[in-house]
Amino acid sequence: MILVALGSRNPNKVRGTELAFRIAGLRANVVSIEPPGDLSPEPIGLDEIINGAIRRARYAIGIVRNAEFGVGIEAGIIRVKGFEEGVDVTIAAIIDGSGKVTLGFSPGFMVPRKFMNEVVRGVELNDVVSRYYGEPNIGRKYGLIGTLTRRFIDRIVLNTEAVYMALIPRMPWNTELFRG
């Protein structure tokens, strides 16, 4: 059994991490911890999303004793020139005891312009979406993707895909390709 430290207490991220390791054929005990307190509430831009995921992973592996991997999952918005809408993407970072980091991305989807207008003013996307749909804390449930797809796809799916993609370089048949 592999001990995995996850830098989040969000149930969608916990479940997504458990599923990704299971799909990869790895038996994992996922221990979730509170992430560092100084993360951006709504990361905007690829660098900020990736750095948030890495910080979460690094922090988690440093806190959970004997963890073989630290996992950080960060969702955020990428602004695309020429579009008023943003693209929401989930990025996972996995770090091991040697400090090697691997990354994985979920599929991205467009954030409605009416939501982006508030996000660029500093309002967290979860708050905007929860207010619009009249349901508190949608981000800890199925997320904006769940509302837009009528729950065909939810946050667990995006988190699972991002973590699994970050595991690809660590698969036994791929380690030679990704070595030093």
Q: Where are the domains of the chain?
A: 2-170
Q: What is the DSSP letter of 178?
A: T
Residues 2, 161, 111, 145: what is their CA dihedral angle, to the nearest 10 degrees?
-90
- Per-residue model confidence (pLDDT) at position 84: 86
Average pLDDT over residues 23-38: 96
Average pLDDT over residues 167-176: 95
pTM for the whole structure: 0.96
- Measured CA to CA, the distance from residue 51 to residue 67 in angstroms comes to 21
Say which residues have a Cβ less than 8 Å from residue 11's Cβ, sequence separation at least 6.
Answer: 140
Average pLDDT over residues 130-154: 94
**Element (DSSP H or E) covering residue 77:** strand 69-79
- Per-residue model confidence (pLDDT) at position 140: 87
Average pLDDT over residues 21-37: 96
- Per-residue model confidence (pLDDT) at position 86: 94
Average pLDDT over residues 76-100: 95
Please provide the CATH number assigned to the domain covering 2-170: 3.90.950.10
Contact 148, 108 (CB under 8 A): no
User: Is the pLDDT score of 179 beyond 90?
Assistant: no
